Amino acid sequence: MLLIAATMACAASTPTIPGGETPVSPPAPPPPPPHANVIAKTSGDAQKGTLSSALSAPLVVTVTNGGTAVSGAMVTWSVASGNGSLSASSGTTDASGHASVHWTLDGTYLATSATATITGASVTFTALGNGSGDLGGRAIFPAGDPWRTDISGSPLDANSDSLIASCGPTKGVHPDFGTVYAGAPNGISYVVVRGSQAKVPVSFYYSDESDAGPYPVPPYAPIEGGASSTGDRHVLVIDAGAWKDYEMFDAHPVNGGASWTGGSGAIFDMTAGTTRPAGWTSADAAGLPILPGLTRYDEVVIHQVIAHALRFSCAHSRKAYVSPARHSAGSGASTNLPPMGMRVRLKSSFDISSYSAANKVILTALKKYGMFLADNGSDMFLSGAPDPRWSDDDLHNLTKVHGSDFEVVQMTGLVTQP
C-alpha cells in the first residue's frame, strides 16, 4: 500500500494535457520602457547685456535620465536670425550632465532667445540687451526729405546773428546723451521690434493731435529717463519689417505693458517721410519725428557716417514754426527768437581736425546737414540715444564747440500760431 501511494504521488506531480504534450510556461513580462532624457536650464537665463557683446555668464543645461545625470548626450544649440550668435552649435554633456555655450547678443534687437535641444525635448533661454540698435545704415526717410538734404551751401538767413544770440552764443554744444546719468540711460532710447511684435492699445490725453493705436510696444520698451522718470518719458519703437516709427510722449505702461497711456503719439512711415498735419504736435514739441534727429552710436562708431540732420533745443523760442516742423512751443513774438524747425549748421570754417574720429562724424554731419530746433530746453543741447559703449569723456569735448560757431540756414514759410 505504501508503494502504490508513492507511485501515485509521483504521477500526480507531472500533469499531462490531452494528446500527451507537456505544457509551455507563460512568457516573462517585457522590461519597462527606458526613461526619456530630460533637459533643464541650469544657469544663464534672463541675463541682461550690451548689444553686440557676449553675455557675462554662459548658458548651461543639465541632461538627466530618471533623476541621474547623463554624460555624452548630444545637445544642439540654436538662435534664430536677429538673435545673436553662439560659441558652438552642438556639444555633449560632461560627467555631471552639463553642456554650455557662450552667447553674443545681436546688435539690433533688445530681446532675444536661444534654444538648447536634445532628442524629444528642448529649453529656451532669453536675454535682454541694452544700448541703441544698429539699423545697418538703412536710411530714415527717403532721399530728398528735409532731414536728408545737404544744406552746407544753402543761403544764410538774414537774421542769423540775432537768432543765434537768442540761443546761447557762448554755450558749448552739450551732448544730451551718453552712457548713464542719474542711474538711467542718458538720452532718448529707442527699441527695434520685428513685424511679429503684437500691437497693444494706447490712449493719449492730446488725442486730437495724436495718431490712434494700437502701437507695437513691447513690455520691455525703454522709457527715456527710466521707469521712474518724471521727465518727458519718450518711448520710440521701430517696426523693422514695416519700417515705421512709433513715438510717444509721457508714456506709461498699464498692466505690465498690456496697454500704454501717454500725452501724445505719432506714427511716421519711414519709407515715405510723412509729416504731421499743420498745427499738430507729435511726441515732440515741434511736431517733428524724434528718431531721425538722434545722434546714434551705430552711425557714429560702427558705420562712421551720419547722413541726416540732428536735433537740438533752445531755452526760449518764438510762437511760430517753419517746415518741416508743424507746431510751436514758445510764447515770445520777437523776430529774434528762433521758431521751431529753425535749422542751423556748423560754420564751414570751423576746424574739426583735433577732434576724435567719433566726434568728427558728428561735427561733419552738423556742417553738411545741420540740426533742427525741436524743443524748448537748455540752450545748445544736442539730442542722442544712450548706449553703454559711448565714451562720455570723449563726447564732452563737443562742449568746445559754441553756439557762435553756428549759423542759421535761410528760413521761408514761417507760420505764426495764435
- Weakest mean pLDDT among 33-42, 100-109, 147-156, 371-380: 33-42
Instruction: Provide the pLDDT for residue 2.
Output: 42
- For residue 209, what are the contacts with CB-CB under 8 A and spacing of at least 6? 264, 276, 279, 280, 281
Q: Strand 371-376 relative to strand 310-314: parallel, antiparallel, unpaired?
A: parallel
Q: Is 55 exposed, middle or buried (0-12, 13-18, 19+ CB in 10 A)?
A: buried
* pLDDT tens profile 293-311: 999 999 999 999 999 999 9
- For residue 250, what are the contacts with CB-CB under 8 A and spacing of at least 6? 232, 233, 262, 263, 264
- The band of 274, judged by pLDDT with boundaries at 50, 70 and 90, is confident
Q: Is 189 exposed, middle or buried (0-12, 13-18, 19+ CB in 10 A)?
A: buried
The pLDDT of residue 256 is above 50: yes
Which residue type is seen at 296?
R
Per-residue burial over 105-130, b = 16 or more CB atoms within 10 Å of its CB, e = otherwise: bbbbbbbbebbbbbeeeebebebebb
CA dihedral 365, 150, 281, 162 (to 10 degrees): 80
| Nearest residue to 98 via CA among 123, 71, 77 | 71
Cis omega before residue 214 (within 30°)?
A: yes
The pLDDT of residue 349 is above 60: yes
Instruction: Provide the pLDDT for residue 33.
Output: 60
Please compute the mean of the pLDDT values over residues 98-105 and round it to a whole number: 98
* pLDDT tens profile 3-37: 444 444 444 444 555 555 666 677 777 766 667 99
Instruction: Return the HEC string of 142-196.
Output: CCCCHHHCCCCCCCECCCHHHHHHCCCCCCECEEECCCEECCEECCCCCEEECCC
Q: Is 354 exposed, middle or buried (0-12, 13-18, 19+ CB in 10 A)?
A: exposed
- For residue 44, what are the contacts with CB-CB under 8 A and spacing of at least 6? 55, 57, 58, 59, 60, 100, 103, 125
Please compute the mean of the pLDDT values over residues 159-166 and round it to a whole number: 98
Please compute the mean of the pLDDT values over residues 257-270 and round it to a whole number: 98
Half-sphere exposure (Cβ direction) of 157: Cα atoms closer than 13 Å: 25
CA 371/CA 368 separation, integer angstroms: 10
10 Å Cβ neighbour count for 78?
A: 15
Instruction: Provide the pLDDT for residue 29.
Output: 74
Which domains, ranges and CATH numbers included, belong to the chain? 38-130 (2.60.40.10), 146-416 (no CATH)
| Nearest residue to 158 via CA among 415, 416, 418, 414 | 414
* pLDDT tens profile 130-152: 999 999 999 999 999 999 999 99
Residue that is written with C-alpha cell 540732420 in the block: 309
| Nearest residue to 99 via CA among 140, 43, 22, 171 | 43
CA 184 to mean position of chain CA atoms = 15
Per-residue burial over 265-294, b = 16 or more CB atoms within 10 Å of its CB, e = otherwise: bbbbebeebbbbeeebbbbbbbbbbbbbbb
